Amino acid sequence: MSKLATDFIHTSDTKAFDLDHRRIINYNIGKYHVAVERGLSKLANLENSKRKAHTIKWKVMENLDKLLPEFESNFQRKGGKVIWANDIEDAQNEILQIIKKAGAKTVIKSKSMATEEIHLNEFLEKNHIEALESDLGEYIVQLLGQKPYHIVTPAMHLSKEDIAKLFNEKFGTPIDSTPEQLTMKARELLREKYTSYDIGITGGNFLIADSGSIALTENEGNARLTTTFPKIHIAIVGIEKVIPTMNDLDLFWPILSSHGTGQNLTVYNTILGGPRQGNESDGPEEMYVILLDNGRTNLLAQKEQRQALYCIRCGACLNACPVYKNIGGHTYETTYSGPIGSIITPHMAGMKEFKHLSYASSLCGKCTEVCPVKIDIHKMLLLNRRDSVQQGLSPFSENMGWKGWKTGMLKRKTMDMFGGKFKNLMLRTFFKKSWGKHRELPKVAEKSFSKQWKEKDKLVG
């Protein structure tokens, strides 16, 4: 078992029985469920929308080699620059070159899971460049020195009292500050940074091939400020985020917002097609889009599992997952947590290190049910398990255990060779630890049902 798997089991055991953590998560996800139920009720034919989104994303994956160059060509035509990054190191170095060339020392960022994926904040800090998160949730977890807890709501694991305490320690605000007062304090601290920082960095919710544009979705306006004031704008976007046409936003924007937050549309939806033009009054002088692979083509090569790349990062599967709701986002130790993280991370970061995530599921299917692009998530989890076994990543003891189980199950005579006492001894010896200290092992009857049936037949006869 890898160290990551061992840590995952240990942390899961702790978090699952942390009652305060569970209270906060259940409260926040409960509010999400109410909002989403209300939001989805306003869609005329949700199932048709999901099928259409699935079909569009299927066409995208089948034509990625045509759509990405189309985006690149159209974006460059308007003065933008496209950089292809194969992995984390490529992306980091390309960003550093842009920063050094500009002589920049400060970076302001809007919310982006792609920047988390390439560990950008830590990398910039090592190179003596100040990077500041401008999304409120990201700003809070940055102040705490933590990673985002959730794809959509980075500070979901914190109560308002936790945040009030943090701001009191950092900025001297009253310990009983309301959420509104805390938000105003953050706005006060961040507002002048937009106008004074050298470079703005964002992600991108969608890459629009036919117009050579990126689409950004947000609720705070920080992404607009991040892309408007700094002289240079860098967008880091996964290659799977491309959609064929501008018209497709008519479908993807509503299903993203309704599944992500329960809104009809998020407050700010922005389309950016390059640096500031001659007839425009604001915007960056230079704009770069970094197309990030970082293992995505490994997943694309898996015909049965490539549909995991359809994901639009709404976070619905995390909020529906009973495992996520009990162990929390940080336990996964990955950029993308929950069910979607469990199916993409082994392909993007290594099956050997992350195969355990595909086993951390009850296979209830709720994740598949709520997915707005109809990714068959629980099937993908099973396929990942299959792949890990076929790659010889199962431990020797597990292989022998299944071999013994198969031998016993194939013949009734073999199953009944040992009585209940011996079977219970085997369970206590080999499974007590893995079964969990909070659960009691099941007890096997002294005689199997088959034996009891035969004895009953004899008595009747």
DSSP one-letter string for 165-185 = HHHHHHH---TT--HHHHHHH
Pairing relation of β-strands 199-202 and 232-238?
A: parallel
Pairing relation of β-strands 213-218 and 268-272?
A: antiparallel
pLDDT in tens, 214-231: 999 999 999 999 999 999
270 to each of 28, 217, 352, how far by Cα in Å?
Answer: 27, 7, 39
Strands (E), 282-368: 286-292
Say which residue the tokens 């990942």 belong to: 384
pLDDT at 461: 59
Q: How many C-beta neighbours within 10 Å does residue 236 have?
A: 26
Return the structure tokens found at 68: 């990405």
Let me know: does 261 contact 54? Beta carbons within 8 Å: no
Say if residue 281's pLDDT is above 90.
no
CA trace torsion 63, 274, 123, 7 (10° rounding): -40
Say if residue 408's pLDDT is above 90.
no
HSE (CB half, 13 Å, CA atoms) of 264? 3
Say if residue 460's pLDDT is above 90.
no
Q: Quick one: DSSP state of residue 84?
A: E
Apex 321 CA angle, 261 and 356, nearest 5: 130
Of 306-320, 370-384, 390-404, minimum mean pLDDT range: 390-404
φ, ψ at 275 (rounded to 5°): -70, 170
User: DSSP 3-state assignment of 399?
Assistant: helix
Let me know: does 329 contact 149? Beta carbons within 8 Å: yes
Say if residue 434's pLDDT is above 90.
no
Say if residue 79's pLDDT is above 70.
yes
Which is nearest to 79 in space by CA: 202, 241, 232, 222? 232
HSE (CB half, 13 Å, CA atoms) of 248? 25
What spatial distance separates the first Cα and last Cα of the chain, rounded to whole Å? 54
Type of residue at 245: T
pLDDT at 110: 96
Return the structure tokens found at 418: 């040992």
Three-state SS string across 39-52, please?
HHCCCCCHHHHHHH
Say which residue the tokens 């090569």 belong to: 301
Say which residue the tokens 């842009």 belong to: 98
Kindly report whether the global pTM for this prediction surpasses the value 0.85.
yes
4 to each of 177, 333, 381, 442, how far by Cα in Å?
Answer: 38, 8, 18, 29
pLDDT at 447: 86
* Of 30 and 412, the one with more pLDDT: 30
* Of 51 and 278, the one with more pLDDT: 51
Return the structure tokens found at 314: 């709404």
Distance between CA atoms of 56 and 134, rounded to whole angstroms? 32
58-70 burial by CB neighbour count: b if 16+ within 10 A, else e?
eebbeebeebbeb
pLDDT band at 267 (very low <50, low <70, confident <90, very high): very high
User: DSSP 3-state assignment of 345?
Assistant: helix
Type of residue at 340: I
Which is nearest to 237 in space by CA: 146, 122, 110? 110
Which is nearest to 290 in space by CA: 134, 84, 100? 84
Reading phi first (left if > 0) and then psi (alpha if -120 to 50, else beta), residue 441 is in beta
Q: How large is the average pLDDT for residues 313-326?
A: 96
Say if residue 273's pLDDT is above 90.
yes
Distance between CA atoms of 159 and 202, rounded to whole angstroms? 27
Which is nearest to 67 in space by CA: 274, 223, 209? 209
CA trace torsion 26, 32, 34, 37 (10° rounding): -130
Of 194-203, 350-359, 374-383, 391-400, minimum mean pLDDT range: 391-400
* Of 152 and 398, the one with more pLDDT: 152
φ, ψ at 286 (rounded to 5°): -130, 145
Q: How large is the average pLDDT for residues 93-120?
A: 97
Q: Quick one: DSSP state of residue 445?
A: -
Three-state SS string across 312-330, please?
CCCCHHHHHCHHHHHHCCH
User: DSSP 3-state assignment of 372?
Assistant: coil
Let me know: does 434 contact 13? Beta carbons within 8 Å: no
pLDDT in tens, 237-263: 999 999 999 999 999 999 999 999 999
